[in-house]
Chains A and B, each alone.
Chain A
């Protein structure tokens, strides 16, 4: 685990750097994917940019609201570069709302936008795993398997390596299915199902799971719900495509 790379007097935080590389590679894929789904690349880039900004602002405001009296005394702390004073879930929620509202206002088609963003999400997931490997986050449970690694005072499952491996497999699958002519939402919902299934599997080896109902891992329940929703979504979208387009024209009309 290498959270810091010291270059002379400069201490680079590697997990943040890997996340940035993931975002950059993801964004660079947008221009390539957008035309395939008949979506404006520029509009999609703007959407992602606003989403990222809204996510960061929302995460900081969410954190500050919990400690409003302290931030009221020093409002400039809202602009602190310290990543520990962010509330990630609040940020994600704000980003999703902003992206949804902006997308609606710009009349961007819902499913083609998600399909065009899918390879970017899949590539970002790989670098999220690399960031975890670098920081030692998302660590595994103690184990006696021969490939266990010593981390945080015990021999543990190298869950970060499993995470990267599975994310690469999911990315390759997403890259492959994007060639096939299918229906709107197929690419995104397939990715969601595969990503959820990966997490469902992987979580069993984690040592930092949040436990609910006494013994169950919260991430597995959330993954199971996402997996079920993705499978139902695939069916609904497939039915919609079949009923909307005469059977003869399917291959030309659908993406």
Chain B
């Protein structure tokens, strides 16, 4: 205790520690774009969302990259998944309320573990109007490290993932606030 209470000895030691810390801080300084994963595509917050091109239910194709400039919600789902059923009407309401503000929803059906007929019936029953890409091979689910259904990725206008929600159902408040965060980041 006497050593700590001695101002000369202790402040000499403290100054040395802080100077070393300061030197380490400058030694490990990096440019701002060197952190948060840079531009590596990866399915997590702060990274660029992995790109994909998928066939759409009802015809046509969609490429995620081509939606740059819009806030995009990518939701992975299956027709047999109860929380997916519970949250789809919410996604539809948020889509209708925000589409004109530049919000796009891609509800990727995990067709490799579902059937296209069941997916089509699901979409008809809920009156969904947003695009439904079909992940027939499971490639997109794998690249997004899908571990629970539903899983939702909120992607900003620059293509960077800003929020990931594992599981569901999400409330309308959750989806709407996440969308507001995406629209705020410009």
* A interface residue numbers (CB < 8 A to B): 3-4, 6, 11, 13, 63, 66-67, 70-71, 73-74, 77, 80, 82, 84-85, 136, 139, 141-142, 152-154, 182-183, 197, 200-201, 203-204, 206-211, 214-217, 220-221, 223-224, 227-228, 231-232, 234-235, 238-239, 241-242, 250, 254
Closest 3 CB pairs of A and B: A204-B28, A77-B173, A238-B4
Beta-carbon contact of A70 and B36 below 8 Å: no
A231 contacts B14, C-beta separation under 8 Å: yes
Q: Say yes or no: is B115 at the interface (Cβ < 8 Å to chain A).
A: no
A216 and B29 contact, CB distance less than 8 A: yes
Q: How far in angstroms is the closest Cβ of chain B from A9? A: 10
Q: Is B63 an interface residue, CB under 8 A from the partner?
A: no
Q: Is the CB of B25 within 8 A of A200?
A: yes
- 6 extra interchain contacts, Cβ-Cβ under 8 A, other than A11-B167, A70-B177, A211-B30? A67-B176, A204-B27, A208-B35, A215-B31, A220-B24, A242-B1
Binds A, one of B41-49, B51-59, B101-109, B121-129: B41-49
Looking at the complex, which one of B21, B28, B170 makes contact with A197 (CB distance below 8 Å)? B21
B100 contacts the other chain (CB 8 A): no
Complex CA gap A236/B172 in Å reads 52
Nearest neighbor of A151 in chain B, beta-carbon distance? B42
Residues of B within 8 A of A11 (CB): 147-148, 166-167
**B24 touching A200 by the CB < 8 A rule?**
yes
B117 contacts partner chain A, Cβ-Cβ < 8 Å: no
Instruction: Supply 29 A–B pairs (Cβ within 8 Å), ascending by A.
Output: A4-B166, A13-B166, A67-B180, A70-B177, A74-B173, A77-B173, A80-B174, A84-B164, A136-B44, A139-B37, A154-B37, A154-B40, A183-B1, A201-B24, A207-B35, A208-B36, A211-B31, A215-B29, A215-B30, A216-B25, A216-B26, A216-B29, A221-B25, A231-B10, A231-B17, A231-B18, A235-B14, A238-B2, A238-B10
Q: A223-B21, A250-B1 are in contact. Are A206 and B35 (CB under 8 A)?
A: yes
**Is A200 a contact of B21 with CB atoms below 8 Å?**
yes
Contact A220 B40 (CB under 8 A): no
Least CB separation from B163: chain A residue:
A84
Q: List chain B residues, Cβ under 8 A from A200.
A: 21, 24-25
- Among the interface residues B7, B13, B37, B167, which one has the most CB atoms of the partner chain A within 10 A? B37
Residues of B within 8 A of A6 (CB): 147-148
Q: Which residues does B use to contact A, with CB under 8 Å?
A: 1-2, 4-5, 7, 10-11, 13-14, 17-18, 21-22, 24-32, 34-38, 40-42, 44, 46-47, 147-148, 163-167, 170-174, 176-178, 180
- Pick from A152, A182, A231: contact of B42, CB below 8 A: A152
**Is A204 a contact of B24 with CB atoms below 8 Å?**
yes
> Is A209 within 8 A of B35, CB to CB?
yes
Of A203, A209, A254, the most chain B CB neighbours within 10 A belong to A209
Residues of B within 8 A of A217 (CB): 25, 28-30, 35
Partner of B170, one of A74, A82, A136, A242: A82
Given A141-B35, A208-B46, A220-B28, is A242 in contact with B40 using a C-beta cutoff of 8 Å? no
User: A74 → chain B, closest Cβ, in Å?
Assistant: 5
Of all chain B residues, the one with the shortest Cβ separation from A210 is: B35
**CB of B40, distance to nearest CB on chain A (Å):** 4
